[in-house]
């Protein structure tokens, strides 16, 4: 498939590398233009393009840019992209930590519904509930007992099926997380978020999410992670996420 990836940070860059290695024709773009991604593209066997080049003629487009940056994409970027082409949103909203406040999202709008409004078309939510380290290093063959899962939410069954194939190809189990309106269940600080769960555990975690709890937990993440210190390992981070994300809010305490 021809896959356009806008954003070459931890998640976007890892997806570009893995999908290129899987044999797909990958085009990569970021805010610096083709020259800004030339070296990375050469390294992984991809084509450096601008954001319009990433979208034109693509079979799948992956948006992997900071959450607020979605609103700054060129107007009409997706106007000529067929409705059948999945646009995957990997972003997460981190107000106060990285992102400016967005009133509609703070008022409860589901993050990926906000993204869909900004770009003028539906999206598939995926690759947002997995740590970059896990995505880069913890892929496993199909059927492996320790294979991790990636949640996929969206309203188009065919588009979700296409994304599920890609998830499987790069070494993870796809888990259908329901409609896009339900993708709040995989937003930051929900039970499924960045906890390295397998497929069954991912389904249980999605079901366990409670409306309104995650944003309040998310807004305290900096306090918790500061206590881990600069030498925190991947295992430390996963352990902390599992503890915080699955702890009832009224019992959550700083330690």
Q: What is the pLDDT of residues 185-207, one digit of tens each?
A: 999 999 999 999 999 999 999 99
Question: Are 55 and 77 a contacting pair, CB within 8 Å?
Answer: yes
pLDDT category at 255 given cuts 50, 70, 90 is: very low
Supply the pTM of this predicted model: 0.95
**Residue 185, both tokens:** 């269940």
pLDDT of res. 162: 98
Per residue in 72-106, pLDDT (tens digit) is: 999 999 999 999 999 999 999 999 888 999 999 99
Q: Is residue 139 part of a domain?
A: yes
Specify if 205 maps to a domain. yes
209, part of any domain: yes
Of 4, 6, 26, 30, which Cα lies nearest the Cα of 17?
26
Give residue 254's pLDDT.
44
Q: Count of domains in the chain?
A: 1
Q: What average pLDDT does this structure show over 20-32?
A: 96
Q: Which residue has the higher pLDDT, 237 or 221?
A: 237
| 25, part of any domain | no
Instruction: Give the closest residue to 131 by CA, choosing from 245, 5, 250.
Output: 245
Q: Is residue 222 pLDDT above 60, yes or no? A: yes
| Residue 127 pLDDT > 70 | yes
Residue 238 confidence class, pLDDT cut points 50, 70, 90 = very high
Residues 6+ apart with CB under 8 A from 229: none
Residue pair 122/156 in contact (Cβ under 8 Å)? The answer is yes
Residue 2 covered by a domain: no
Concatenated DSSP letters of 205-245? HHHH--TTHHHHHHTTHHHHHHTT-TT--HHHHHHHHHHHH
Band of pLDDT at residue 252, cut at 50, 70 and 90: very low
Give the pairing type, strands 25-29 and 2-6.
parallel
Q: Region 215-242: what's the mean pLDDT?
A: 91
Q: What percent of the chain has pLDDT over 70?
A: 97
CATH of the domain at 125: 3.40.50
In Å, what is the CA distance from 90 to each residue of 45, 47, 93, 201, 239?
22, 21, 10, 21, 22
49 occurs within a structural domain: no
> Residue 208: inside a domain, yes or no?
yes
pLDDT for 249 equals 62
**Whole-Å CA distances, 74 to 36, 48, 120:** 18, 18, 12
Give the residue with greater pLDDT, 71 vs 97: 71
CB atoms under 10 Å from CB of 125, counted, come to: 33
For residue 81, the tally of other CB atoms under 10 A from its CB is: 17
Which tens digits make up the pLDDT trace of 141-197?
Answer: 999 999 999 999 999 999 999 999 999 999 999 999 999 999 999 999 999 999 999
C-alpha to C-alpha distance for 117 and 12, rounded to whole angstroms = 21
Q: What pLDDT does 229 receive?
A: 86
Structural domain including 233 reads 66-251
- Tell whether 27 is covered by a domain: no
């Amino acid at each position: 498939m021809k896959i356009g990836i806008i954003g070459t940070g931890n998640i976007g860059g890892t997806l570009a590398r893995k999908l290129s290695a899987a044999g797909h024709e990958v085009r990569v773009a970021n805010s610096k233009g083709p020259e800004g991604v030339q070296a990375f593209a050469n390294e992984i066997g991809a084509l450096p393009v601008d954001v319009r080049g990433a979208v034109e003629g693509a079979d799948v487009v992956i948006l992997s840019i900071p959450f607020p940056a979605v609103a700054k994409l060129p107007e009409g970027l997706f106007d000529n992209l067929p409705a059948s082409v999945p646009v995957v949103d990997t972003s997460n909203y981190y107000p106060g930590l990285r992102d400016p406040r967005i009133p509609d999202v703070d008022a409860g709008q589901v993050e990926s519904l906000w993204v869909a409004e900004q770009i003028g078309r539906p999206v598939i939510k995926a690759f947002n509930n997995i740590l970059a380290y896990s995505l880069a290093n913890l892929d496993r063959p199909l059927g492996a007992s320790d294979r991790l899962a990636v949640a996929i939410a969206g309203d188009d069954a065919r588009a979700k099926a296409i994304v599920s194939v890609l998830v499987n190809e790069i070494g993870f189990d796809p888990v259908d997380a329901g409609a896009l309106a339900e993708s709040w269940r995989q937003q930051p600080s929900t039970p499924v978020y960045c906890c390295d769960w397998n497929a069954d555990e991912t389904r249980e975690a999605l079901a366990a999410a409670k409306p309104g709890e995650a944003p309040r937990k998310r807004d305290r993440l900096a306090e918790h992670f500061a206590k881990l210190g600069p030498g925190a390992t991947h295992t430390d981070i996963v352990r902390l996420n599992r503890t915080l994300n699955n702890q009832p809010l009224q019992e959550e305490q700083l330690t």
